[in-house]
Chains A and B, each alone.
Chain A
Amino acid sequence: MAIIELRTISFRYGAGTPFEKQALQNISLSVDRGDFIGIIGHTGSGKSTLIRHFNGLLRPDSGQVLVNNEDIWKNPRQIRSVRFQIGLVFQYPETQIFEDTVAQDIAYGPKNMGLDQETINQRVLEALHFVGLDDSYLDRNPFRMSGGEMRRVAIAGVMAMKPAVLVLDEPTAGLDPEGRRNLLKHIEQYRRKTNTAIIMVSHSMEDIAEHVQRVLVLDKGKTAFEGSVPSVFAHADELMQLGLDVPQMTKVLLGLKAKGYSVDTSAVTMDQAEHELLRLFERKDHE
């Protein structure tokens, strides 16, 4: 059973004004527990608009958003409870930190849920560990930490609400390669440990190839492609036309194929590509 399901949602900004703009058109998506889903698209393709529909920050003009098979807009007064089930981390989330200590800032979400202090403390610790920070951070001032550390604290602030789905909008933007790898590693571990579904918006095709199971490609507010990672990246030419890219490994393999080598171009990560290339060389040796 899907935890969250979008049924042909459409959304317009500024409906009824001269500035009206169709932002989303007939988007459908179904997410199960433990899924890792990637959303890619050109700037202005509607990614940010789409993720605001997951937790009811925006209300679709048509179509439905179902959480646990229930329309979240059936009772608009209850929309806050949806936000605890669908955690949303925006771009550059460190800009939303406001408390003096890391512990207090992470506790903001759980506190809004009305949990008791003991549960809150427990969740703060848990969340802190999920993002790979230790207990010594609890009483530190977040504003004196590095950008990467602040980013992790901000993500922990959403994890502490124990959502069933965690939506991340470009979680690695502006981090150095080491910080990127580290953060993604912890997100992956968090998913495995808690079986939380992850939806990640990213501009890095490598990150998508490495971690994600399914990809949704948006273009001008419409679904351009949807499916498993290899099946989506098989449309390399079309993706390039949409102003997107494919993983470098896919490019290498596609190039080889164009030169007449018989390689399987569905390999998208470095490991898979290595495997495929070794196989190719071995076959050459045998010939």
Chain B
Amino acid sequence: MTRDITVGQFLPGHSLLHRLDPRTKIVLTFVFIIQVFISRSALSLCFLIFLLLFLIACSHVPARKVFRAVRPMIPVIVFTALINIFYVSGDPVFHYSFIRITDQGLFVGFTLLVRLTALIAGCSLITYTTSLNALAAGLEQLLAPLKRFHFPVNELSMTLSITLRFLPTIAEEFDRIIDAQKARGADFSNGNLIKKIHAYFPIILPLFMSSFRRAFELTNAIECRCYQGGNGRTKMNVLKLSRLDVQAIVFFCVAFGVSIAFNLFFPSFF
């Protein structure tokens, strides 16, 4: 009630990436991740950056938003890159007691910087262009073959969609309980860490209680409708692969091949 709760960061639109089937996007995201990890030479890294920029352009997502997704991870990225600088052997360019910095170290650190940034930016694109419900549906379809091995795919997707459905409700409840306890003089800003954690008990406990209550009610409602797992259930929106999906898959395969080729034929640093 007091704030607009947006779960995920989906930006509605009609770009090429928006129109792709969620299954295609999930698979291609994995392909992209692998591609990030195999891009080791300078040339394939340049190609990766080019590919990423191309994808951002296709998604119609403002570059500023993509950067915003990367921003919280910057400390981790920088830390990882710095650590790697000191741990790679090669020709030293700087040497002081136990600190050795090699040219390979610098290169590896720099490439990690680029690769991790590209990784997070690339993964953010799927969340910007796919609604959470579409993602859940896509995941369910992708996992469907696992049913043969008695993997509870229906239950998993049901759980996933219920979770997504109730996140905003619980966030609202959280706000409400915080207000109620503040009205009784709860103080969340003063005191040391232990005190602060302690101050949240009066929020967390009622939140758990009401979530359990909601869960029981939901269970009853589901049973009243004779739900017995998803066997034989049909979908309102059936996912269909289109020509666009095929084109996207071909494009990614080619891009993947190009990356491997650059790695193999131009392995030198610069």
Stretch from B105-113, B127-135, B172-180 that touches the partner: B172-180
Q: What CA separation (Å) do A161 and B184 show in the bound complex?
A: 8
Q: Is B98 an interface residue (CB 8 A)?
A: no
User: Which residues B134-187 have CB closer than 8 A to chain A?
Assistant: 176-177, 179-187
When distances are taken between beta carbons in the complex, the residues of chain A under 8 Å from B180 are 88, 90, 93, 95-96
Separation of A82 and B39 alpha carbons in the complex (Å): 61
Interface size class of B (residues with CB under 8 A): 20 to 34
CB within 8 Å for A158 and B206 given contacts A14-B3, A48-B1 = no
The listed residue (B177, B184, B210) touching A108 by CB distance below 8 A is B184
Q: Which residues of B contact A161 (CB under 8 A)?
A: 184-185
**Residue among B181, B183, B186, B201 making CB contact with A87, cutoff 8 Å:** B183
Determine the chain B residues whose CB is within 8 A of the CB of A97 once the complex forms: 206
CA distance A90 to B176 in the complex (A): 8
Most buried by B among A14, A57, A143: A57
Q: Which listed residue (B187, B206, B209, B210) contacts A112, Cβ 8 A?
A: B187
CB distance from B191 to the nearest CB of A (A): 12
Q: Which of B183, B185, B187, B202 has the most chain A CB atoms closer than 10 A to its own CB?
A: B183
Provide the bound-state CA to CA distance between A90 and B201, in Å.
Answer: 19
> A89 CA to B179 CA in the complex, in Å?
10
Q: In this complex, which of B176, B184, B210 has the most chain A Cβ atoms within 10 angstroms of its Cβ?
A: B184
Q: How far is the CB of A205 from chain B (nearest CB, A)?
A: 24
Report the bound CA distance from A109 to B180 in whole Å.
11
A112-B183 contact, Cβ under 8 Å, with A90-B176, A96-B206: no
CB-contacts of A73-111 with B (<8 A): 80, 83-84, 87-90, 93, 95-98, 108-109
Contact B183 A90 (CB under 8 A): yes
- B179 touching A143, Cβ below 8 Å: no
By the criterion CB–CB under 8 Å, are B186 and A96 in contact?
no
Query: Is B4 at the interface (CB under 8 A from chain A)?
Result: yes
Chain B 198-231 near chain A by CB (<8 Å), digits 1 or 0 = 0001100110011000000000000000000000
Q: How far is the CA of A106 from the CA of B201 in the complex (A)?
A: 15
| B183-A14 in contact (CB<8A) | no
Contacts of B1 in A (CB 8 A): 48
Asked if B234 CB lies within 8 Å of chain A CBs, one says: no
Q: A95-B209, A98-B206 are in contact. Are A109 and B185 (CB under 8 A)?
A: yes
Tell whether B237 is near chain A: CB-to-CB under 8 Å: no
Q: Cβ of B209: which chain A residues have Cβ within 8 Å of it?
A: 95, 98, 143
Interface residues on A, range: 20 to 34
Tell me if A55 is interfacial: C-beta within 8 Å of chain B.
yes
> Quick one: which of A19, A48, A88, A95 contacts B183, CB cutoff 8 A?
A88
Within 8 A of A (CB), among B1-27: 1-4
Q: Which residues of A contact B181 (CB under 8 A)?
A: 96, 108
A171 CB–B CB distance under 8 Å: no
B206 near A95: Cβ-Cβ < 8 Å: yes
The docked-state distance in angstroms from the alpha carbon of A13 to that of B4 is 9
Known: A19-B4, A97-B206, A98-B206. Contact between A112 and B179, CB under 8 A?
Answer: no
Residue interface bits A15-28, CB-to-B below 8 A is 1, else 0: 00101000000000
**What residues of B have a CB within 8 angstroms of the CB of A98 in the complex?**
201-202, 205-206, 209
| B179 pairs with A52, CB closer than 8 A | yes
Bound together, the chains give a CA A109 to CA B184 distance in angstroms of 5
Contact (Cβ within 8 A) A84 B185: yes
A254 to B210, CA, bound (A): 44
For B202, the closest partner residue in chain A by CB is: A98
A57 touches B4 (CB 8 A): no
* Closest residue of A by beta carbon distance from B183: A88
User: Which residues of the partner chain B approach A52 to less than 8 Å between Cβ atoms?
Assistant: 179
Chain B neighbourhood of A95, CB < 8 A: 177, 180, 206, 209-210
Complex: chain B residue closest to A88, CB-CB? B183
Q: Which residues in A have their C-beta under 8 angstroms from that of B2? A: 13, 58
A158-B185 Cα distance, complex, nearest whole Å: 10
The answer to whether B185 touches A112 (Cβ under 8 A) is yes
Q: State whether the Cβ of A247 lies closer than 8 Å to any Cβ in chain B.
A: no
> What distance in Å separates the Cβ of A59 from its nearest Cβ neighbour in chain B?
12
State in angstroms the CA–CA spacing of A13 and B175 once bound together. Answer: 15
Question: A157 in the interface, Cβ–Cβ < 8 Å?
Answer: yes
Q: Mind listing 5 A-B residue pairs with CB under 8 Å?
A: A57-B182, A88-B183, A98-B206, A112-B185, A158-B183
10 closest A-B pairs by CB: A112-B185, A88-B183, A98-B205, A109-B184, A96-B180, A90-B180, A98-B202, A19-B4, A57-B179, A98-B206
- Which B residues have a C-beta under 8 Å from some C-beta of A? 1-4, 176-177, 179-187, 201-202, 205-206, 209-210
